[in-house]
Structures are given as structure tokens and as C-alpha cells.
Structure 1
């Protein structure tokens, strides 16, 4: 499924170097190289950068049905320090109704270790949102 257009419209994702690896209805996988400008004072991935990576995966997975979805709630738990060369966020749909949908996003490093767990809920507007309507 081509959701690259969605990511290309996201200026923050571009600024952070987030790239889309895979997308299917209700699913997305994104990656972000852990450069020095994405690290905090302790030399590990900044929590805001990790959150932004997970949020982009949520946005792609939820909007992949062609219906505009906007986050109404998001929480994150940091499990391990964000270290390594590349971080990945994989979003999986937990539930999807007419108005609300929930997603679980796992953030891992390049050693495939979970470093954070993110849960997001979106409101599904009754508005078409595709490459053609965006």
C-alpha cells in the first residue's frame, strides 16, 4: 500500500529523518536513524524523538483506510535506553470502529530490542483522506 505521500506531507517527520518502510490497512512500520541531533544530554535517543517516530507510525496505520484520523490520546512507556544506529516503530491495530480506533506501537532498536511501548487512540472523521483528496 502506498502511503509515502502521507509521510511526505509531514514536515516534522522529514526534519527528523523518519522514513516509511511498510504500510498496510491498520499497520505501519517506520524507521529513524539515531543521529547526534536526536540524542538527549545523556547521549541516548531523546524521548521526544522516540515519541515522534511512534506517532508517525500511528498516523500512517490509522489513515491507511483513506479516512481522516486524528489522534485524541497517546501514551508512551520508555523501557530501555534508546541506543543503536536506527530505531523502528511498528504500529498494529488493536481495534477499529466507526468513530474510534486504537493502536499499539512497539519501538525497537537495530538489535530488535524493545525500547518503548506506545498506545494511541484516534478519532476517525467522516472525511475522505487519500493522496487525491489531501
Structure 2
């Protein structure tokens, strides 16, 4: 499913260099090449950059259903230093209801090391949200 229009509307994600690798209702994979601008004072990926990568995968997966979905809760656990040249976030739908949906996002690097785990819940508004309605 082409969700590029969604990313085109997100200037912050574009500034970070995040791209959509794959998207379909309830699933999304995003990627971000690590540059010096993404690193913290210790030289590893900044937690905010990692969270933003996961958050975009979460947003794409939930909005790919074509119904405006907005985060109401999100949390992240960092389990390993963010090293490597590219980070990936893979969002999978855990539950889907009429008004709420929950997603799990795994963040890994190009060496297949899991570096963080993200969980998010969205509120699904009764508003169509597609390329044509956005």
C-alpha cells in the first residue's frame, strides 16, 4: 500500500530522513540512516530519534486503515545501544477496535540487533483519512 502521501505531510519525519519501507493496514516498516545529527553525546543513536522512527511506523500502520488515528499513549524501552548505519522500526497491530487500536513496534539496526521496543495506542476517529481526504 502506498502511504508515501502520509510521510509527505510529516515535515519532522522528513527532516530526520525517515522513509517508509513497507506499509499496509495494521503493519508498517520504516527506516532511518544514522548520521552524526542523529547521535547523542555518547555517540549512539539519540533516544528521541529512535522514538520518532518508531512513532512514524506506528502512525503509518494505524492510519493505513483509512481512518484518522491519533496516538493517545506511547512508551518505549531501550534495550541496546543504537549502533549501526541504519535503524528500522517494524509496527504490528496487536488489537483493532472501532475506537481504539494497539500496536507493538520493534526497533532494530542493520545487524539485526533489537535496540528498542515501543508500544502505542491510538484513538480511531470517525473521519476518513486517505490521500484523497487528507
**CA offset digits 1:93-119 (Å, max 9, x no partner):** 000000000000000000011000000
CA distance in 1, matches of 2:126, 2:111: 40
TM-score normalized by structure 2? 0.99
Deviant stretches of 4+, over 4 Å: none
How far apart are residue 70 of structure 1 and its match?
0.2
Partners in 2 of 1:37 and 1:89 — Cα distance?
Answer: 19
**Does 2:20 match 1:20?**
yes
Deviations 1:48-88 (A, max 9, x none): 00000000000000000100000000000000000000000
- 2:49 corresponding residue in structure 1: 49
Instruction: Return 5+ residue gaps in structure 1 as ranges.
Output: none
Hey, what does 2:116 align to over in structure 1?
116
Q: Which residue does 2:8 correspond to in 1?
A: 8
**How many pairs align?**
134
Find the aligned partners of 2:89 and 2:8 in 1 and give their Cα distance. Answer: 17
User: Distance between the aligned counterparts of 1:94 and 1:65, measured in 2?
Assistant: 14
TM-score of the aligned structures, taking structure 1 as reference length: 0.99
1:77 aligned residue: 77
Give, in whole Å, the separation in 2 of the partners of 1:26 and 1:57.
Answer: 10
* Residue 102 (structure 2) aligns with: 102
Aligned with 2:125: secondary structure?
strand
Q: Which residue of 2 is the match for residue 32 of structure 1? A: 32
